[in-house]
Structure 1
């Protein structure tokens, strides 16, 4: 059985406290058995709420394909008179300062 998470503890505890107060105020009971019955009902309700809080979902890990770039691709054919530029810094690299 997995351990309860922090949100499950929080929702369950708040449910027990607030439902106990609400039932005691609404029923206006002062007898021992009445208070005990309300406390048991509040604990059961808190447990139900704590168990129905959605658990964080884990994402399924998919296998990453093994890429073989050198085997899958053919070498690029460059015409003899073509100029290949690496980017903006390429133009200043060949000049003498």
Structure 2
């Protein structure tokens, strides 16, 4: 059985604490039986959250494994990328803006 990651422990514990506090305040329970039910529901919810937290461990391991695969014997080396051709500018420079008019409604 794999060991839980720290993120799983933190998320699960935080879920149990917050869910228990929220349900106790929301339902205003005073009997021990209902408090036990709320505690069990909170633990189940925390376990569910802890098990569904995505972890980066397997993804990183897969990437490292793929990166270490040697090239097949007799395969050609990848071709070098050609340098991009310099861009040539063919458009003329934009015309200068007309001088500001005296008023907003002034006509020429």
Q: TM-score interval w.r.t. the shorter chain? A: 0.5 to 0.7
Equivalent in the alignment of 1:54: 54
- The RMSD of aligned alpha carbons is 2.0
Equivalent in the alignment of 2:45: 45
Q: TM-score, normalised by structure 2?
A: 0.58
Offset, 1:2: 1.2
Aligned length, in residue pairs:
69
Offset, 1:55: 1.8
Offset, 1:66: 6.6
After the TM superposition, list the runs of 4 or more consecutive aligned residues in structure 1 that deviate by more than 4 angstroms. none
Unaligned runs of 5+ in 1: 73-97
**CA distance in 1 between partners of 2:22 and 2:6 (Å):** 24
Equivalent in the alignment of 2:31: 31
Flag the structure with larger Rg.
Answer: 1
**CA distance in 1 between partners of 2:30 and 2:45 (Å):** 21
SS in 2 for 1:64: coil
